[in-house]
Every structure is written in C-alpha cells, then in structure tokens.
Amino acid sequence: MFDGGVALNEVQESVLRCPNCQVAMRTETREGIEVERCPQCNGLWLDYAELDLVEDRVFADDHAKATLVYDERSSSGLCPRCSTTLHAFNYRGWNLELQMCEAQHGFWLDAGEDERILELMRQRQKDLDRSATAEEEWGQFVSGLKSRSFAQKSRGVLDKLRAPAPDRPSKLVLQLPWRKRFVLFWRLFRDGRVPFLAKLVIPGILFYLALPFDVIPDFIPFIGFIDDLFVAILGLWLFLRLTPRAIFDEHIDRLGAEIEEESRRR
Ligand SMILES: [Zn+2]
Ligand SMILES: [Zn+2]
C-alpha cells in the first residue's frame, strides 16, 4: 500500500462492512435516525455512539427495563467496528432477535426485522389508537436500541448469562468430609431461618428408619437396608431443596472456612 496511511484509515473507518456479507453498508436515514443498511442482505446496523440523550426519554420504564430478557445464542456475524463475533439474543419485549457487539459498538438486525417491528407498532396503534405514528415509534425504538445505556444493560445480562451456574447443593455436600456433612445438616436443622416444612423431613426420615415395618424387612441381610438408605438420601435431598439457597451457601462457606482453618493449624 502507499504512504497515505492516515487518510486511508479514516476512509476505512467511515465505511462499515456488513457482519454477514462483508459488503460496505450504506447510510440510511429513517425517521431522522441514521442507520447502516447492507445492500446485499438488507440487514441493519445500529451504531449507537451519538444518541445517548434520546434513550432516557423514550426507553425509560415502559418496555425496556421490564422486558430485557435474553436467550444468548451463538452468532456468526462480526462487529463492523472491531470485527469480534457478535452475540445473538432475543429481545423478548418484541420477540426480536438482536445481535450485539460485546465491546458496545452497536446492534445488528437481520433483514426484515425492522419491518416486523413497524408492523407490530402499526398493529398496536390500531388496538390502542395512539397519537404517534408507527414510523415515529419505530424511530424511537431504534434510537433506544442505539443508546449507550441500553447496550450497557444488555451487556450486564450477557455477563450474567456467562457466569458459571452455581453448584447443586447435593454436590457441595458430597465435597465435604463425612463428619462435616453431619455438622452441616445439624446446623441447618438448628437454623431458625430454615422453613419448618423442611425441618419436618428430618424427623420423618428418623421415624421411617425406626419403623418396625419397612417396605423391605431389615432382617434380610444388606437388601433390607436398601430402602432405609433410599429414604434417607431422598429425605436429605428434599431437605436441601426446601432450604433457601442463600442460607445453605452461608453454612457451606462457614464450614469451608473452618476446614481451611483446621488444616492450617495441623
Ligand atoms: Zn449483508
Ligand atoms: Zn465491536
């Protein structure tokens, strides 16, 4: 390439390429809002750099905050600004699939999705007899998507989705040494915040174990204890299910700290 690198870079930066087709996109203005449209696949890129102020007015409380729920899906498209893979998710308030750059450069809408939004808004207007036109609402919707705070909210949700799911209580119990398992159950049983219904399970187990008539009589060697074992495990599992997770975690953390302390003293 020749030496006019700076000027060339500036030109390249201003030309955004379609995440799917890599074709240069064209700037389009709809309802006063600039969007980039791919001439080949007709998809829409919403770069939200300049539109921070519009968001709070339009996107304040009604649909955005309450319905920002996503199903993250993998996507093959690349961000036109930074070329990292976009993340696809569902914007459920509108049952609309969006793709988002994690570095918060903007959103991608596949071809026809904007038309679908418009159609939805026209329908809503018919139902509600609103004063604003569907086109105006579409413009407000898009400017909402283009705002920085919307992107930040979405990113927060993506981060949450990516955080590892907490381990099941039963798995955490099995990671404890035998003696500590008894300590855990004893402490949970004594904890005033654990629901009474959960606590009922423990005497229930003991009652079954003490019961003279089992499903399988205990005098049959080994097999006779299988049902007792089964009831005990099932009961303890039920007890854990009925115990609030936060309280369980608190006790697990405390036990973990105690085990660590004991091993340090040795
Ligand atoms: Zn395209
Ligand atoms: Zn990006």
Task: Round to whole Å and give the CA distance between 117 and 93.
Answer: 11
Q: Rounded to an integer, what is the distance from CA 253 to the centroid of its chain?
A: 25
Least distant ligand from the CA of 101: 2
C-alpha 203 – ligand 2 centre gap (Å): 58
Do 94 and 155 belong to one domain? no
C-alpha 77 – ligand 2 centre gap (Å): 11
- Letter string b/e over residues 48-78, b meaning 16 or more CB atoms within 10 A of that residue's CB: beebeebbeebbeeebbeeebebeeeebebb
Do 113 and 175 belong to one domain? no
Is there a domain that residue 161 lies in? Answer: yes
**Domain extent at residue 29:** 2-117
Is there a domain that residue 224 lies in? Answer: yes
pLDDT in tens, 1-54: 444 444 444 444 568 899 989 999 998 887 677 788 899 998 888 876 544 433
Is there a domain that residue 124 lies in? Answer: no
Is there a domain that residue 194 lies in? Answer: yes
Higher pLDDT, 34 or 79: 79
Task: Round to whole Å and give the CA distance between 38 and 255.
Answer: 58
C-alpha 100 – ligand 2 centre gap (Å): 8
Is there a domain that residue 173 lies in? Answer: yes
Least distant ligand from the CA of 83: 2
Is there a domain that residue 176 lies in? Answer: yes
Least distant ligand from the CA of 79: 2
C-alpha 119 – ligand 1 centre gap (Å): 22
Task: Round to whole Å and give the CA distance between 121 and 23.
Answer: 30
Predicted pLDDT of residue 83:
87
Taking each helix axis from N to C end, the angle separating 113-128 and 134-145, rounded to the nearest 10 degrees, works out to 130
Least distant ligand from the CA of 38: 1
Residue entry with tokens 């930074």: 82
pLDDT in tens, 183-199: 999 999 999 999 999 99
C-alpha 104 – ligand 2 centre gap (Å): 6
Is there a domain that residue 127 lies in? Answer: no
C-alpha 58 – ligand 2 centre gap (Å): 24
Is there a domain that residue 178 lies in? Answer: yes
Could you please report the per-residue DSSP string of 196-213? HHHHHHHHHHHHHHH-S-
Specify the number of domains making up the chain. 2
Do 110 and 155 belong to one domain? no
Do 106 and 163 belong to one domain? no
Higher pLDDT, 207 or 58: 207
Percent of the chain having pLDDT more than 70? 67
C-alpha 117 – ligand 1 centre gap (Å): 19
Domain end among 67, 94, 117: 117
